[in-house]
A = this chain, B = another copy of it.
């Protein structure tokens, strides 16, 4: 199996088939989500993760609910959809793709004149989001690849790969394109505590695809930057604000500082759906704090004393001045992010 064929979210018409990322890399398990509550739980419990994949799962979740439970009265249906959309949106607070995908479904289906047509449109629109994401990721990968030297060694954080999206991934997309083109690419992957997406997912995905990958712990990054001839750091994003400040997996901000200290370019790779022009700066982003157990336990085993205080922010914010470039499906933005990001949305965003 090569990573190209790993799909994290598969629409079955009356259920969502989901790769349970909590079981990787030990076990490749697909689960079936049959209710909107199943979808909420899967997002909340990180069975599906990665901003684009979360958006796709939520879109199918809303379509699934409508298909099974939607009223045949148009007004009742619309009221219920608003409520169910808000419910799904509450499953993860930081990822903007979640609300983006749900809003897109509400808007598109809102054009329809009957309950039946609304329900059909929700499904076709969710499928369209997934198809577009695949094309988007391919373009991001191509733009990302264009920034790398011929023989490249790149450090990445968390998982922004095929299993975080529909295919290819965002930051990892550049590595898949490099592999397709026969380029010489090596990757250092940080394990990404506390949930270990780097060790469990990125290392697995790249290994499956035959890409040279070396796993390190998060605190080895500075030593690796100093000693291993790293050409670039390439990571994803959960939310990019109007001025370019970027919320991403905890640890990203530290890597950006380390990149600057070593004179190494630091790139964010993310689809337009991650860019939130309605949020002015990173200061306006609410940082999700997660369960203490993510830190005190690993693989079900306690590694810290009972009753210890824990601080567990899931994300941090990297100020735009530490970012060399933001790679999107419509090109690479750098320098004046405020105007550069806004231009990506002209003509007006869907």
Contact = CB atoms under 8 A, between A and B. Distances in A.
Interface of A: 25-26, 188, 190-194, 196, 199-200, 203-204, 207, 212-224, 226, 228, 250-251, 253-254, 257-258, 260-261, 287, 295-296, 298-305, 307-313, 316
A263 to B, nearest CB: 12
Contacts of A207: 305, 307-308
B217 A250 contact: yes
A311 to B, nearest CB: 5
A218 B215 contact: no
22 contacts: A26-B302, A191-B304, A200-B303, A200-B304, A204-B308, A207-B307, A214-B310, A215-B295, A215-B304, A215-B308, A215-B311, A216-B311, A217-B251, A218-B218, A219-B251, A222-B253, A223-B250, A223-B313, A226-B253, A261-B261, A298-B298, A298-B299
Given A253-B226, A261-B261, A299-B299, A192 B213 contact: no
Contact of A214 (B25, B219, B287, B309): B309
A220 B258 contact: no
A302 B308 CA distance: 25
A221 B218 CA distance: 11
A305 B203 contact: yes
A301 B196 CA distance: 13
Contacts of A221: 254
Contact of A316 (B218, B222, B228, B250): B222
B301 A301 contact: yes
A215 B299 contact: no
B304 A222 contact: no
A257 B295 CA distance: 24
Nearest to A313: B223
B220 A219 contact: no
Contacts of A216: 295, 310-312
